[in-house]
Amino acid sequence: MHRLFAELEPSLTVTEQNLADRVRYILRSNIFDVAELERLRREAVPSSDENATAEDAAPQMVEQPANVDAAVNTPVVVDSNDDGTVAQELELEHMRSTLEEAMVETRSTPLENRPRLPRIALSKRNRAVVRALNPMLVTYLEASRDLCETDSILFGAALAVCRIIGAKVSTAGRATGHSSAIPAWRRRIEERIAKARALIGRLICFRSGNNRQKLRAPSG
């Protein structure tokens, strides 16, 4: 059955198991009656009818399911693939539209106001989204004129991935959280440097004879 299907539809790639499952579903669902199955079998395998005789008519009816399987399944597989192709094209078009919107938005947004992107899990679905977007980036990257534009393209692609998979993106820009982004150790060092500068200034004043300012030892 699989060999016959491959001869009838060489452009379609279907496994034997998938073909058998679809045939069983059609036969169990009674989508076609016996007369319709016979007609489809004759259309799919006309040579067997030309060589058939009245004597082997009964055995041929016994072998009918094996021959009918491929004939019945042929239009169903085509329709299923057509539907799947259309759905896939629509999904890719949605991804492309999301990618373009994200890149345009990124170009018009200052660097300090860009949203913070979360880390995404390395699931099969997320990897599939990234693999689908990668070929779309080639055209934009080849047309990029400088590193700033390349940065906007890559950040826009990352933003598009987050939106496609439904990851939560922080709407607050980086400017509002700039102070919290500074490490605590750096803030402590900057505070100590500021206190040291103030103390040095007072020592210079004291050395020059200006005793009005009181010397204070830095706290901490």
Task: Examine residue 42 and state whether it is found in any structural domain, yes or no.
Answer: yes
Q: Are residues 80 and 7 in the same domain?
A: yes
**159 and 129 within one domain:** yes
Whether 13 is in a domain gets the answer yes
Q: DSSP letters of 98-141? A: HHHHHHHHHHTS-GGGPEEPPP----HHHHHHHHHHHHHHHHHH
Q: Please indicate, yes or no, whether residues 6 and 83 belong to a single structural domain of this protein.
A: yes
Give me the number of domains the chain comprises: 3
Element holding 171 (H helix, E strand): strand 170-173
* Of 47-61, 87-101, 144-158, 202-216, minimum mean pLDDT range: 47-61
Cβ atoms 117, 159 nearer than 8 A: yes
Q: Mean pLDDT over residues 65-77, rounded?
A: 45
Residues 14 and 76 both lie in one domain: yes
- 30 and 78 housed in the same domain: yes
Residues 79 and 116 in one domain: no
Q: ∠ at Cα 184 (181, 185), nearest 5°?
A: 125
**Residue 63 shares a structural domain with residue 44:** yes
For 148-178, how does the pLDDT look when each residue is reduced to its tens digit (9 = 90+)?
889 999 999 999 999 998 888 877 555 444 4
Cα 79 from chain centre:
25
Q: Are strands 115-116 and 170-173 parallel, antiparallel or unpaired?
A: antiparallel
Bridge partners, residue 115, by sequence: 173
Whether residue 202 sits in one domain with residue 153: no
CA 68 – CA 27 distance, rounded (Å): 10
129, 198: one domain:
no
Look up the pTM and report it.
Answer: 0.41
In a domain, 92, yes or no: no
Q: Which residues pair with 173 in a beta bridge?
A: 115
| Residue count of the chain | 220
- Reported as a pLDDT band with limits 50, 70 and 90, residue 219 is low
Average pLDDT of the residues in 75-103: 70
In sequence order, what are the residues at sequence separation of 6 or more whose Cβ sits closer than 8 angstroms to the Cβ of residue 33? Answer: none
Same domain for 81 and 114, yes or no, is no
Whether residue 202 sits in one domain with residue 165:
no
- Where residue 68 falls among pLDDT bands split at 50, 70, 90? very low
Residues of the domain holding 195: 182-220
**Residue whose structure tokens are 């034997």:** 16
| φ and ψ of 116, to 5 deg | -85, 125
Shared domain check, 191 and 128: no
Distance of alpha carbon 39 from alpha carbon 37, whole angstroms = 5
